[in-house]
Amino acid sequence: MRLQRGAAPGGPLFILGLARKLRLDPRGRVCYHGRRRMGAPLIDSRGRLIPSGRFPEPRLANPDGLLALGGDLEPATLLAAYRQGIFPWSVDPISWWSPDPRAIIEFNDFRLSRRRARYLRNGGFRFSFDEAFTAVMKECARPAPGRRSTWISPAFVRAYSRLHDLGHAHSVECWLEDRLVGGVYGVVVGGLFAGESMFSRVSNASTLALAVLLEHLQRRGFTLFDSQVISPHTASLGAREIPREEYLSRLRQALAQNCPFA
């Protein structure tokens, strides 16, 4: 999950520099000789227009994992991306990524310390599902210690809230009394849950929300939890990296499932 990262590799200047190189305007639209081409075309990581408008094969991503620029954040586009092992990471311009290796959390490998397990049982927290999806996203977007900004822009909040309204994106909330103090959200496709981000306003709240989520998913038959890029925190919880080819193989198996979140 991109919970410990601010922006895409290299930061906004990297993406904007690449956009200029590929003749994109700041919103990811193709420009030819200073004139903007209408629509939302895709450009691959080598600067070539993709006439079909379909995502390239994930294997064509550059060494950083950047696959394409442009397109849109419509529900059909987002779902097509996740089905191919691709996710967006910025909006000015929109960038699409498929890193190698890929981070996942195996359900049986998730590690919750005894202290955190006690918090889960006796910490006074209440957990809910999909009660405050947009609020969770906005909390994930807020500055935090060591992170002045994130990739979760208002455009991302709107796009994923639409996915939530359509039943494809879900959240777990952690409450202390009546205050939202932690949460996690992501996208569901078949037997895949793609974890996007999580937040804490009190110690352990996000980790406990993740524990509740993983238990919930396992009971409903999900087989793949995508953590996207590993971080020290997720590694301490059991996340590990696998080759992209292995991830794509497991993704194909997960897509054959039909797992209800609710």
pLDDT in tens, 155-197: 999 999 999 999 999 999 999 999 999 999 999 999 999 999 9
pLDDT confidence band for 30 (50 / 70 / 90): very low
CA 27, 157, 187, 141 torsion: positive or negative?
A: positive
Contact between 70 and 64 under an 8 Å Cβ cutoff? The reply is no
What is the model's pTM?
A: 0.87
Helix or strand or coil: residue 80? Answer: helix
Q: How far apart are CA 186 and CA 167, in angstroms?
A: 11
pLDDT on residue 149:
67
Contact between 235 and 209 under an 8 Å Cβ cutoff? The reply is no
Q: How far apart are CA 28 and CA 91, in angstroms?
A: 8
Contact between 183 and 171 under an 8 Å Cβ cutoff? The reply is yes
List, in sequence order, every residue forming a beta bridge with 185; answer none if it has no partner: 171, 197
Which of the two residues, 9 and 98, has the higher pLDDT score? 98
Q: How far is CA 28 from CA 16, 78, 81, in A?
A: 9, 16, 17
Question: CB neighbours of 240 closer than 8 A, spacing ≥ 6?
Answer: 103, 104, 105, 106, 109, 230
Strands 224-228, 192-200: pairing is parallel
pLDDT confidence band for 135 (50 / 70 / 90): very high
The CATH fold assigned to 11-99 is: Alpha-Beta Plaits (3.30.70)
pLDDT on residue 8:
61
Contact between 14 and 209 under an 8 Å Cβ cutoff? The reply is no
pLDDT on residue 40:
67
Question: CB neighbours of 35 closer than 8 A, spacing ≥ 6?
Answer: none
Question: Where does the chain hold its CATH 3.30.70.3550 domain(s)?
Answer: 11-99
CA–chain centroid gap for 236, Å, is: 19
Question: Where does the chain hold its CATH 3.40.630.70 domain(s)?
Answer: 103-255
Residue (of 220, 172, 218) closest to 196 by Cα position: 172
pLDDT confidence band for 150 (50 / 70 / 90): confident
Count each helix (H run) and each strand (E run) in the chain, helices first.
Answer: 8, 14
Please state, as a whole number, how many other Cβ atoms lie within 10 Å of the Cβ of residue 242.
15
Helix or strand or coil: residue 235? Answer: helix
The CATH fold assigned to 103-255 is: Aminopeptidase (3.40.630)
